[in-house]
């Protein structure tokens, strides 16, 4: 069957023109495709089943009767919901990011992707954005769900309080308005959205850290453990700064290591404002813009570092 | 002279074994060229360096020494992948995607426009005979179906070079034949193919040139016919040969001083051909019975 | 291996440079968030010991709210078991984790001055004098807890209001109660009735009768709801008697008790003979 020579083969065959002339070096469309594929992959892993658990949790929290004041009842819903959102998004950011690249490698899907004209940076960015998209959508859905529950609880609590106050001559109209306003301050508001945004930003940084670790790591388990350790250390930033930098405690080597760790590991505590927000503290738009900027800087740094490792990794 | 599809020049690949000051030389100073439109077979036992060579060509690994290029572009440059399709050994792809979605995914990665991609996906699914399974997720695909969808994704952007690593491993003879036909189709379309396979018969059937590797070294390399021809023997295959004529021929050979009759007998078919002809005959018979 | 070490070192260097770029930005944002009350200090050593490792980690990880909900449930159980030491410790943790949660300060204090104090009073295994001593101690603990809440939430009216209530009901210290209500009313979102409570307490504070009379009379003269409320009228009438205010200056209102009796008489006249309203 074999032909005489390659020259003859070329003569006998018709050349078919390629369908794409010259793809760009960096393409947002390819990043989008990788992101969408990662999103679909994670969604089809039945990630959103967590939403059902979340709904049950919020409903349970809204029916928790511990002799709470009206404001406390709403606060418990806010705190439980934001807490559950935080836990979901952190766990998801670590585990999903940790398994994605090793899984692609194990299934040899990575070969087929990187053998297409896909720069490795695009692959990493696409994967990371896919994880962030799932976290974003899940948080948006959870936020919507708990906003509805919170709204109904707020309305019913205010109505019940107003009814009781109206029956007591001690309370004036002004008292009733003040009470209603105080309860309403713990209903759904823009601050709550900012709280959810802070949870998202923290998870995004965590996912970027997990991605960097996974470019080094030899297994998903290693990535999960190391990222979790980094996550914990990232919460001791303020304590570490006070100890090593402000108070100058420890020997110089310890101080040096401490300072390096403070500079290398992200300060996760800085994103922990959802706690205060669920307790009714108010946050400004400017602060949120600044926080988003910081998160973007972290994402950029860790993505570049990941690319640096991944760019000449051999498979 | 046109630019070769692949050029491997003095390629050496050394792996350092972790935590030990020990090294493994996977590929030792090999060079070869694959012309455009040529089917090139890379054969050798396990651990001979075939896969490493392919990975270096595809940019999945860096050469320790030497260089590789695809249509003149260094393999380390992402642009070299523009004209390449690759089917890895035992591919799994994304199990959560259907056949159609898989082709869409790889097509989009190659930068194919939506309108072109739709037609191309339909065309390829028809070509690999997976139209009926297009909407099914790959988790439900058989080994042969995965190989065929893998082949389809490899050529989604109509590349000028396709690298196939054991494309028929674990596939039944019918599926294997189908894949072989597809390779032949690629050849007809002027696409260069590097075929890495343990199935030597298949390599012999489709390849123009072959390289034999062992322990990282290139043992033999060249046009298949040149490599397998037994220069001092001639084979005559005659149909309906009368016994008298056969005797005359044998006598002529005996009479010659130098010539020596080595073997007389009936040519053998391959087990694969026998299997296919028998199974096809069986299928036809049962169909006919059904019609009756 | 050498390549791995080289890569690792270079990545650390890259992150280090990034860290130097972000450090001033982070410091500024940290300051802003702390000033706005959005970031709390990490739990101190003693609190970490009390909470245990997992709760400390959760609190550090930004799950203070969840830890505090858990501690509230824990305290609720302890309350039902009348384990007051646990209740006290749990609320100490809750308020340390969320010092700006006014309701937790109030509820923690309530457990001490109301529940614990009443419960020890009922403990017949203790001698009466000791029971009374312990009751007083829990009331005092409740007061201290509220004062801590006030220090952490200087703008909140509710802890002051609660403090006024404890002084009035448990300590019968009407002067301190008057001051607490005055402080409560001076704060934003205070209930409107607190303005009158200051007067009622002053009226019972020895030596402040004149001040109380002037205060309540000013409210009465303001009109509106104050003029209609029986408590205002009763207090003023009692103070008028005590201070011997000239008749001409006294308020014209009839004492609410007399009004009530007259109304009852009128109703009785309409009833069939022999039936009386108790």
Task: Annotate C117-142 with DSSP letters as a single string.
Answer: HHHHHT-TTS-HHHHHHHHHHHHHHH
B62 shares contact with chain C (CB less than 8 Å): no
Backbone angles phi, psi at B9, to 5 degrees: -125, 110
Q: Name the DSSP class of B80.
A: G
CA-nearest residue to B15 within chain C is: C1
Residue B87: closest CA among B177, B187, B169, B188: B169
B71 shares contact with chain A (CB less than 8 Å): no
- Return the pLDDT at B64: 92
Of chain C, the percentage scoring pLDDT greater than 70 comes to 86
CB-nearest to C10 from A284, A293, A308 is A308
- Could you give the residue range(s) of every CATH 3.40.50.300 domain in chain B? 6-228
CB A45 within 8 A of CB A139: no
pLDDT at A241 over 50: yes
In a domain, C112, yes or no: yes
- Residue C133's pLDDT band, with cuts at 50, 70 and 90, is confident
- Measured CA to CA, the distance from residue C230 to residue C216 in angstroms comes to 12
In a domain, A278, yes or no: yes
In a domain, C107, yes or no: yes
A19, B160: Cβ pair inside 8 Å?
no
Residues of chain A neighbouring B79 (CB-CB closer than 8 A):
22, 25, 117
**Cβ atoms < 10 Å from Cβ of B22:** 9
B148 shares contact with chain A (CB less than 8 Å): no
Q: DSSP string spanning C199-224?
A: HHHHHTSTT-HHHHHHHHHHHHHH-H
B199 shares contact with chain A (CB less than 8 Å): no
A112, B105: Cβ pair inside 8 Å?
no
- Return the pLDDT at A93: 93
Chains that touch C (3 or more CB pairs under 8 A): A, B
- Measured CA to CA, the distance from residue C204 to residue C216 in angstroms comes to 12
Of chain B, the percentage scoring pLDDT greater than 90 comes to 28
In a domain, A18, yes or no: no
pLDDT at A127 over 90: yes
Residues of chain A neighbouring C63 (CB-CB closer than 8 A):
83, 86-87, 275
CA-nearest residue to A103 within chain B is: B94
Interface A–C counts its CB contacts (< 8 A) at: 165
B6-228 has CATH 3.40.50.300 classification: yes
- Measured CA to CA, the distance from residue A123 to residue A138 in angstroms comes to 23
In a domain, C116, yes or no: yes
Of chain A, the percentage scoring pLDDT greater than 70 comes to 88
Residues of chain C neighbouring A61 (CB-CB closer than 8 A):
69
- Return the pLDDT at B286: 59
Distance between C6 CA and the closest CA of chain B, angstroms: 14
- Residue B278's pLDDT band, with cuts at 50, 70 and 90, is low
Structurally, chain C folds into a number of domains equal to 1
B23 shares contact with chain C (CB less than 8 Å): no
pLDDT at B30 over 60: yes
- Residue C89's pLDDT band, with cuts at 50, 70 and 90, is confident
Provide the residue range defining the domain that includes A109: 26-235+272-310
The mean per-residue pLDDT over the stretch C141-169 comes to 93
Sign of torsion over alpha carbons B42, B46, B49, B51 = positive
Distance between A239 CA and the closest CA of chain C, angstroms: 7
Residues of chain B neighbouring A119 (CB-CB closer than 8 A):
78
Residues of chain C neighbouring A239 (CB-CB closer than 8 A):
42
Bridge partners (DSSP) of residue B25 are B14
The mean per-residue pLDDT over the stretch C61-65 comes to 72
CA-nearest residue to C4 within chain B is: B18
- Return the pLDDT at B178: 81
The mean per-residue pLDDT over the stretch A59-71 comes to 73
User: For residue range C214-246, what is the model confidence (pLDDT) as tens digits?
Assistant: 998 888 887 767 677 778 888 888 888 888 888
- Return the pLDDT at C272: 66
CB A142 within 8 A of CB A88: yes
Provide the residue range defining the domain that includes C134: 54-154
- Return the pLDDT at A245: 63
- Residue B292's pLDDT band, with cuts at 50, 70 and 90, is very low
Structurally, chain A folds into a number of domains equal to 1
The mean per-residue pLDDT over the stretch B218-237 comes to 80
Bridge partners (DSSP) of residue B165 are B196
Residues of chain B neighbouring C2 (CB-CB closer than 8 A):
16
B177 shares contact with chain A (CB less than 8 Å): no
Crossing angle between the packed helical segments C53-60 and C64-80, to the nearest 10 degrees: 140
CA-nearest residue to C69 within chain A is: A76
C63, A275: Cβ pair inside 8 Å?
yes
Side-chain-side CA neighbours of A173 within 13 Å: the count stands at: 2
C38, A284: Cβ pair inside 8 Å?
no
User: For residue range B48-74, what is the model confidence (pLDDT) as tens digits?
Assistant: 898 899 999 999 999 999 999 999 899
A172, C61: Cβ pair inside 8 Å?
no
- Measured CA to CA, the distance from residue B136 to residue B99 in angstroms comes to 6
């Amino acid at each position: 069957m074999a032909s005489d020579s390659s020259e003859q083969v070329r003569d006998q065959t018709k050349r078919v023109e390629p369908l794409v002339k010259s793809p760009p070096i960096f393409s947002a469309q390819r990043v989008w495709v990788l992101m969408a594929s990662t999103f679909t992959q994670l969604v089809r892993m039945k990630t959103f089943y967590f939403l059902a658990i979340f709904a049950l949790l919020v409903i349970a929290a809204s029916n928790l009767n511990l002799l709470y004041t009206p404001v406390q009842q709403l606060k418990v819903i806010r705190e439980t919901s934001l807490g559950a959102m935080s836990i979901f998004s952190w766990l998801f950011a670590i585990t999903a990011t940790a398994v994605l690249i090793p899984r692609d490698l194990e299934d040899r899907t990575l070969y087929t992707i990187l053998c297409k004209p896909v720069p490795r940076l695009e692959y990493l960015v696409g994967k990371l954005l896919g994880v962030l998209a799932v976290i974003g959508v899940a948080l948006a859905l959870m936020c919507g769900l708990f906003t509805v529950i919170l709204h109904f609880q707020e309305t019913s609590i205010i109505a019940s309080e107003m009814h009781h106050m109206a029956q007591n001559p001690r309370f004036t109209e002004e008292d009733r308005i003040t009470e209603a306003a105080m309860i309403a301050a713990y209903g759904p508001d823009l601050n709550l959205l900012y709280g959810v945004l802070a949870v998202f930003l923290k998870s995004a940084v965590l996912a970027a850290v997990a991605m960097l670790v996974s470019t080094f790591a030899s297994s998903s388990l290693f990535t999960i453990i190391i990222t979790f350790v980094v996550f914990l250390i990232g919460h001791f930033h303020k304590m570490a700064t006070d100890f090593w930098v402000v108070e100058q405690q420890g020997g110089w080597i310890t101080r040096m290591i401490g300072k390096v760790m403070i500079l290398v590991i992200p300060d996760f505590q800085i994103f922990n404002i959802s706690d205060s927000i669920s307790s009714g503290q108010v946050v400004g738009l400017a602060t949120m813009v600044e926080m988003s900027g910081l998160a973007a800087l972290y994402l950029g740094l860790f993505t570049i570092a990941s690319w640096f490792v991944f760019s000449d990794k051999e498979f | 002279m046109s630019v070769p599809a692949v050029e491997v020049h003095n390629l050496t690949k050394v792996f350092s074994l972790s935590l030990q000051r020990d090294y493994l030389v996977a590929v030792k100073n090999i060079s070869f060229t694959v012309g455009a439109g040529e089917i090139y077979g890379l054969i050798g036992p396990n651990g001979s360096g075939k896969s490493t060579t392919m990975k270096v060509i595809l940019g999945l690994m860096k050469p320790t020494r030497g260089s590789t290029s695809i249509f003149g572009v260094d393999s380390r440059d992402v642009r070299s992948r523009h004209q390449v399709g690759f089917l890895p050994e035992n591919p799994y792809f994304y199990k959560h995607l259907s056949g159609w979605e898989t082709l869409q995914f790889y097509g989009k990665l190659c930068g194919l426009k939506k309108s072109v991609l739709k037609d191309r996906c339909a065309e390829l699914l028809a070509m690999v005979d997976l139209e009926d399974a297009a909407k099914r997720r790959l988790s439900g695909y058989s080994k042969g179906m995965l190989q065929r969808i893998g082949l389809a994704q490899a050529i989604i952007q109509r590349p000028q070079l396709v690298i196939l690593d054991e494309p028929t491993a674990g596939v039944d003879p019918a599926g294997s034949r189908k894949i072989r036909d597809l390779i032949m189709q690629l050849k007809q379309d002027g696409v260069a193919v590097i075929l890495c396979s343990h199935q030597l018969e298949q390599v012999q059937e489709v390849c123009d040139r072959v390289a034999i590797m062992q322990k990282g070294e290139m043992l033999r390399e060249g046009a298949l016919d040149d490599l397998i021809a037994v220069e001092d023997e001639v084979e005559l295959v005659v149909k309906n040969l009368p016994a008298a004529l056969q005797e005359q021929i044998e006598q002529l050979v005996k009479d010659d001083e130098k010539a020596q009759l080595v073997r007389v007998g009936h040519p053998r078919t391959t087990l694969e051909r026998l299997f296919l002809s028998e199974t096809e005959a069986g299928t036809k018979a049962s169909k006919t019975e059904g019609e009756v | 291996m050498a390549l791995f070490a080289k890569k690792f070192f270079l990545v650390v260097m890259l992150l280090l440079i990034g860290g130097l770029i972000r450090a001033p930005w982070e410091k500024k944002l940290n300051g802003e968030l702390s000033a706005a009350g959005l970031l709390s200090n990490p739990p101190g050593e003693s609190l970490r010991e009390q909470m245990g490792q997992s709760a400390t980690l959760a609190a550090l990880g930004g799950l203070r709210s969840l830890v505090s909900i858990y501690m509230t449930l824990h305290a609720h159980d302890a309350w039902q078991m009348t384990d007051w030491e646990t209740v006290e410790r749990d609320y100490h943790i809750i308020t340390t984790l969320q010092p700006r949660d006014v309701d937790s300060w109030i509820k923690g204090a309530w457990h001490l001055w109301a529940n614990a104090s009443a419960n020890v009073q009922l403990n017949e295994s203790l001698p009466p004098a000791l029971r009374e001593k312990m009751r007083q101690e829990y009331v005092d603990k409740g007061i201290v807890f509220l004062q801590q809440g006030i220090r952490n939430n200087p703008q909140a009216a509710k802890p002051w209001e609660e403090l006024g209530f404890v002084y009035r009901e448990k300590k019968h210290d009407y002067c301190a109660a008057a001051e607490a209500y005055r402080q409560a009313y001076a704060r934003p979102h205070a209930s409107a009735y607190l303005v009158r409570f200051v007067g009622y307490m002053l009226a019972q504070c020895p030596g402040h009768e004149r001040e109380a009379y002037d205060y309540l009379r000013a409210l009465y003269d303001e009109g509106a709801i104050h003029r209609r409320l029986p408590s205002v009228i009763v207090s003023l009438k009692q103070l008028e008697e005590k201070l011997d205010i000239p008749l001409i200056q006294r308020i014209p209102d009839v004492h609410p008790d007399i009004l009530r009796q007259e109304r009852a008489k009128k109703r009785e006249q309409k009833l069939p003979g022999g039936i009386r309203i108790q």
